[in-house]
Amino acid sequence: MEDVRTAVRWLKANAATHTLDPDRICLWGTSAGGHLAAVAALAPHGVFEGTDNLNYTSAVRCVLDGYGPTRFDVMDAQTEDERAKLQPAVITINLGRGARGAAPPAGAPAGTETAGARAGAGGRGPVSHDDAASPESRLVGGPVQSVPDRVRAASPMTYVGKDAPPFLIMHGLADNSVPHGQSVMLYDALKGAGHEVTLRLVDGLPHTFFNRTDLDDTAGPFQMQVREHPRGGPEVQRVEKAGVFDVAREFFRRHLK
């Protein structure tokens, strides 16, 4: 988290050298990166700052959080609650050498997944987030249920206050690595504080779907459940079809124009 905020300040300090506008920086992270982007954007001055270029702020213009965890100690409960409604994945995520899933057999239609690919779905599949060996537990230095103060300190929702940049939160409804309820919780927290935030829950997409850079061309557009809250409200809800990268591009265009 300190690294992300320090990197933002480095960009601002060196903006002229690299022909950048220091006032138009957004963060985009997926999975653990989504968690880091959200915390880095929401944490107040003096928290996770590091030591370099402190004469600049770590504030950013906007954040795209792709399926990032937001509260580690309820992830297992949410995973269990969502299990019965977990959608089948409509795409294969190929992470290259060492990927969890097997490739589809020769001649299979585009987008076909094997059982092995479905189990991994581009992530680690269903695991106990409470386990001492889970990524979340290793991040906070102990089983998440045993260190509530550290879990709270690692949650972006802890830092939702009067100041927050606009957020776009996207999560696939076939995600068996991070329950989509994690994204709903962050959306509700930002909405409750009156901030500009949009949540898009995407049918049939598994964890790490943004890793497929050809996703919109090969499988889109995708049906999305959209909840949109402008600063000050009221919330608008709708269902629409769109490409996930098209949505991301439009979000950044709007805030970086």
Say what the pTM is: 0.88
Phi-psi region of 176 (alpha: psi -120 to 50; beta: other; left: phi over 0): alpha
From the list 175, 173, 171, 176, the residue with the least C-alpha distance to 186 is 171
Q: Which residue has the tokens 């299979």?
A: 108
Find out whether 178 and 125 touch, Cβ atoms under 8 Å.
no
**Phi then psi dihedrals of residue 112, to 5 deg:** -65, 140
Closest Cα to residue 241, out of 256, 219, 257? Answer: 219
- Which candidate, 160, 162, 147, places its Cα nearest to that of 72? 147
pLDDT in tens, the chain (257 residues): 999 999 999 999 999 999 999 999 999 999 999 999 999 999 999 999 989 999 999 999 999 999 999 999 999 999 999 999 999 999 877 655 443 333 333 333 343 333 333 333 334 455 699 999 999 999 999 999 999 999 999 999 999 999 999 999 999 999 999 999 999 999 999 999 999 999 999 999 999 999 999 999 999 999 999 999 999 889 999 999 999 999 999 999 999 98
Q: Are 124 and 31 in contact (CB under 8 A)?
A: no
How far is the C-alpha of 68 from the C-alpha of 82, rounded, in Å? 16
